Amino acid sequence: MKDYVKDYFDRHAHAWVEAAYDEEVRFPVGAERVRLAIEGVAPAMRDGARLVDLGCGGGQLCVHAAKLGWRAVGVDNAPGMIEEARANAGDLELDWIIASYDESGLPSGELDAVTALGLVEYLPDDDGFFAEAARLLRPGGRLAVSCRNRLYNLLSANEYTAEETELPRLLAELRIALARAQPGELHALAESVAASADELERAAQADRDVPPPELHDHRRAFQRGRRQHTPRELDEAAAPHGLRAVEVLALHPHPLPPALEPLAPRTYNALARAWQRALERSPAGLAFSTAFVAVYERA
Ligand SMILES: C[S@@+](CC[C@H](N)C(=O)[O-])C[C@H]1O[C@@H](n2cnc3c(N)ncnc32)[C@H](O)[C@@H]1O
């Protein structure tokens, strides 16, 4: 059977990487996702520790890891992506493997960390993924995996809300999460928005002066077919493989419904940036974010 995902990422590798890591108008989702994953696995790492990034794309996470003194290998089944990664890595000492995430040939139980950003949404199920991550990790090693946040269907007020078949179940999970929110998290949000006043003003002015660019998004090619998870769904898939949930980090907040982004994209995304760090460790972040990074520890 033709592998449409592999074919797509192979042919559009450069454009995809450019869109994901473009920070001029959009929310810098690629860079923020890498930062959260690195922070999530860091407690399992020391100088010279080893990490594999599954579905490594243009290699940004591996490059970041190498700069921290970690040894990193990137695995991706799209040759075009590995080409991007090699070019991006320059002289850094990194290893790249062109293979499906579960056919890397890496030995069992030796890695300190496994990361997988933007991968599981393209896989048919979670079980094979968690089995492979658990196989690769040493006991005590950490896994950071990013997911599209199904809980956000409750508030996105778009076609995902209209088509969601399990709203009451999602609402129950979100209400339990929100009950754990702390006052300090709201204070931090207010302080972050206040500290971003200049940036917000510049963004609004630019949106007034320069017509908003069209927001081309290559990732939308698979938008409706990509899987989503709630944090609980992901934890339940990880647990049978001896992976203990450590933390959930909210990624890419939307202070306003996404339908409004094209009206004033610079303003919209400056607001989102002000929300990111303030709410990424708060359950409140999960209500408003399109994605999350979940962190696990291998028993
Ligand atoms: C959304 S991109 C994310 C790239 C990178 N992790 C990042 O965050 O910038 C998904 C990547 O997963 C790769 N991929 C998809 N299915 C895969 C599979 N079965 N095995 C290995 N890589 C895969 C794609 O080629 C693509 O590079």
Express each pLDDT in 23-65 by its tens digit: 777 899 999 999 999 999 999 998 889 999 999 999 999 999 9
CA distance linking residue 53 with residue 201, whole number of Å: 38
Contact 293, 37 (CB under 8 A): yes
Contact 12, 81 (CB under 8 A): no
CA 118 / ligand 1 centre spacing (Å): 6
pLDDT of residue 216: 54
Domain ranges in the chain are 4-298
Q: Distances in Å between the alpha carbon of 190 and those of 55, 204, 218, 277, 282? A: 36, 19, 33, 12, 14
Q: Which atom of ligand 1 is nearest the CA belonging to 116?
A: 6
Does the pTM surpass 0.75? The reply is: yes
pLDDT of residue 219: 47
In short, whether 78's Cβ falls inside 6 Å of ligand 1 is yes
CA distance linking residue 264 with residue 260, whole number of Å: 7
| CATH number of the domain located at residue range(s) 4-298 in this protein | 3.40.50.150
pLDDT of residue 222: 57
List of the chain residues with pLDDT < 50: 218-219
Question: Where do the H-state alpha helices sit in 12-71?
Answer: 13-20, 29-41, 60-67
Q: Which atom of ligand 1 is nearest the CA belonging to 81?
A: 27
In short, whether 100's Cβ falls inside 6 Å of ligand 1 is yes
pLDDT of residue 218: 47
Q: Whose CA is nearest to atom 14 of ligand 1?
A: 55
Q: Whose CA is nearest to atom 4 of ligand 1?
A: 57
Mutate to test the pocket of ligand 1, among 122, 132, 145, 220 (most ligand atoms within 8 A of CB): 122
CA 115 / ligand 1 centre spacing (Å): 11
